[in-house]
Structure 1
Amino acid sequence: MNLKDRISIYFFKTKKIAEKYRHDDIVTLQFFQRHNDVKLCGINEAIELLTKNTDTTKYIIRYLPEGSIINNREVVLELEGPYYEFGIWEGMIDGILARQTSIATNAYRVIKAANGKVVISMADRADHYINQLNDAYAIKVGGIENHSTLASSNHDKSHTFGSMPHALIQMFGGDVVEACRAYHKAFPKDDLYALVDFHNDVIGDSLACLKEFGKTLKGVRIDTSKALIDKMFTEGEAEFGVTPTQVRRLREALDENGGEHVKITVSSGFNADRIAEFEAEGIPVDYYGVGASLLKIWVNFSADATRLNGQNIAKAGRGYLKNPKLLVWNKEEGLNGQK
């Protein structure tokens, strides 16, 4: 399909009118969003789109560098020149910036909440695989270096994490120890991490693995469903899913049985807010696995035409927004002065 077939048709109609009746007019088009403490991402892709599909010598591009922290109504991209040279790409640029900035900001806020703890992106199952590379790029811009797929980590095995799915344990009749034994035989050079919520008994399964593998057991992962209450809880305690109390009790049980070396990974429904709650309580988590929350799209961009031939004119409620931090893009120098 032709790329232009994905553009709203009214942009083409406006381009034709501008080229015929306002040929010599200079329009300033400004892109912005409406949140604070946002990690900008997608600028490089937006400018690449323009360089491949327009004559960038016919207009001026001003931009903020990829990864900038931006705030409400701060202009991140400004195009100035004849409207028909760039106007049709407005909606597509909005979409690029919305997805990439949302994902980068989600990752950025998770990293801040984690207080230096290791964070692993498990976002591959939360969206169509065709988006995986672009998503991984935005997640990295946000500060998360570790992924569950080789493609997302750019085939860097030191930043690719994953032990076993519940299906592996199921294949061994629900025997976690046997599943771990098979895993260790198949991948003897990999660190052994046991998935310990299959029976909704994280202490029991963790201690069974610890007894069997000792120092070879490097860690355990808790992935308790939010619909379940772990067997460690007595009647009246009723804590659903992965909880602070659950992790504390597991840590205590491991330490009391010679498992001080065993790391604890938590996953299942974690986002920046939930991680912040765990960290505020000092919960002994070593690794956070984060999935679908990284891909939530919530930072939406708008583009306003705010100047005409150097004079401020925009629709009611909008206006020209000056941003002295904008850099001028130069084809020879590339983005941010880098060829």
Structure 2
Amino acid sequence: MSIVKLENKLATYFFKTKEIAEHFCKNDIVTLQFFQRHNDVKLCGINEAINLLKDKTDITKYTIKYLKEGSIIHNREVVLELEGPYYEFGLWEGMIDGILARQTSIATNAYRIVKAANNKPIVSMADRADHYINSLNDIYASRVGGITNFCTLEGADFDLEKSYGSMPHALIQMFKGDIVKACEAYHETFPNSALYALVDFHNDVIFDSLACLKRFGKDLKGVRIDTSKSMVDKMFKEGEAQFGVTPLQVKRLREALDKNNGKHVKIVVSSGFDAEKIKKFEKQKAPVDSYGVGEALLRINIHFSADATRLNGIEIAKAGRKYLTNKNLVIYKGENLNEK
């Protein structure tokens, strides 16, 4: 695979503008400000953006002001301000917007999900929701948002015992649908790993959970419910149909486990969970011990813009925009900013 220069990923009009600015506006000082339009947002990607500027530009030629990684920001609050000759930094405007958009979106998703769960553990199962090439940055942004549990080795800092994922449905399928035999094989192969049984294969979570509890007793650490949103668990009678994973389903499973000496068994839920769905479960006091969250973590719904708002200290900007003062900005002085 050939190595693609980073500059080749930039919009071409930035190159043209840089050339024009260097020729016609060489001594002018431009103020460029970056912001987004949502409230209660967890800022992420600012370290990566500054490190990009540090690597690709001469930062002694202009001033960088920024908000610290992990800050809570609001609508039109400036998070990064660059001031100096435009041609020194303007080339990177679009790429910085993209860095901040992705990283802040993921960190904010994680932040809101963690808050909705009332301090219950969240497990990131987002590995299948996007291209693997993004995984390291996605894990970093999720950590900034407050998530500490991941299903991948990369997310678990390459410690197999710290990664979570229970088992895929394919493992049960290979044992002809016998959940107990699948768990026996798992437990024999990985005796030091906590045994979490995936119990929705037959759409009968109480039956399969109790079968695993009977066989493993205290060695069964937990069960995971992953019922599809198109399915109704067999515990529900006609007239009380509830599709997918529901609070009542979890409550009934908890009661069944408790009545059969299974109070030690944790209940993990997954399948389409986001902050709003978690809020619903918490409001109904569903006895969930932890939530598995996938694609909801990687939704990109916060976007950044950069406005040129001052020229040689005089405010001038496109209609509807103006210089935005943020007294919380910090001047960057070349210190090392960790981004991983």
Bin the TM-score by the shorter chain: over 0.9
Instruction: Give structure 2 stretches of 5+ with no counterpart.
Output: none
Q: Which residue of 1 aligns with 2:141?
A: 138
The answer as to 2:267 corresponding to 1:243 is no
Q: 2:234 aligns with which of 231, 236, 242?
A: 231
Once the two structures are TM-superposed, the CA of residue 157 in structure 1 deviates from its matched residue by 4.2
Contact 1:65 1:335 in 2 (8 A): no
Q: CA deviation at 1:153?
A: 2.4
| Matching residue's letter, 2:68 | P
Identity between Structure 1 and Structure 2 (%): 71
CA distance, structure 1, for counterparts of residue 156 and residue 201 of structure 2: 28
Query: 1:166-219 deviations in whole A, cap 9, x for unaligned?
Result: 000000000000000111100111111100000000000001111111111110
- Counterpart residue number, 1:318: 321
Contact in 1 for aligned 2:40/2:72 (Cα 8 Å): yes
**1:334 CA drift (Å):** 3.6
Is there any run of 5+ residues in structure 1 with no aligned partner, and where?
A: none
Which position in structure 2 is the counterpart of 1:161? 164
Alpha-carbon separation, structure 2, partners of 1:99 and 1:12: 24
Distance 1:226 1:206, change over 3 A: same
Instruction: State TM-score, norm by structure 1.
Output: 0.97
What is the distance in 2 between the residues matched to 1:298 and 1:68?
Answer: 18
Question: C-alpha offsets along residues 34-89 of structure 1, whole Å, 9 cap, x if unaligned?
Answer: 00000000000000100110000000000000000000000000000000000010
8 A Cα contact 1:39 1:105, kept in partner: yes
2:307 maps to 1:280: no
SS across alignment from 1:184: helix
In structure 1, which of residues 83, 89, 92 is the aligned counterpart of residue 92 of structure 2? 89
Residue 42 of structure 1 pairs with residue 45 of structure 2: yes
- Asked if 1:175 is matched to 2:173, the reply is no
Matched with 1:70 is 73
Give the distance between the partners of 1:334 and 1:215, measured in 2 at CA.
48
- Verify the 8 A CA contact 2:104 2:141 in the aligned structure 1: yes
List per-residue Cα deviations over 1:112-158 (Å, max 9, x = no partner): 00101011000000000000000000000000000000112222445
Structure 2 residue aligned with 1:185: 188
- Runs of 4+ residues over 3 Å off in structure 1: 156-159, 333-336
Distance apart, 1:281 and its partner CA: 1.1
Q: Which residue of 2 aligns with 1:33?
A: 36
Answer whether contact 1:145 1:159 (CA < 8 A) is retained.
no
Q: Distance in 2 between matches of 1:311 and 1:83?
A: 15
Following superposition, the deviation at residue 335 of structure 1 comes to 4.3
TM normalised by structure 2 equals 0.97
Which residue of the partner structure matches residue 262 of structure 1?
265
Find the counterpart in structure 2 of residue 293 from structure 1.
296
Preserved contact between residue 233 and residue 239 of structure 1 (Cα < 8 Å): yes
**Equivalent residue, structure 2, for 1:8:** 11
Whichever residue aligns with residue 246 of structure 2, its letter is T
- Report the count of equivalent residues: 335
Separation (CA, whole Å) in 2 of partners of 1:238 and 1:330: 61
SS in 2 for 1:30: strand
| Whole-angstrom CA distance in 2 between matches of 1:93 and 1:52 | 13
CA–CA distance in structure 1, aligned partners of residues 280 and 240 of structure 2: 19
CA RMSD of aligned residues (A): 1.0
| Alpha-carbon separation, structure 2, partners of 1:58 and 1:245 | 62
Q: 1:174 to 1:245 in 2, by over 3 A?
A: same
**Is 1:124–2:146 an aligned residue pair?**
no
Given the alignment, which residue of 101, 105, 115 partners 2:104?
A: 101
Distance 2:79 2:174 in 1: 52
Summarize deviations over 1:212-254 as a string: whole Å, max 9, x none: 1111111000000001000011111110000011000000000
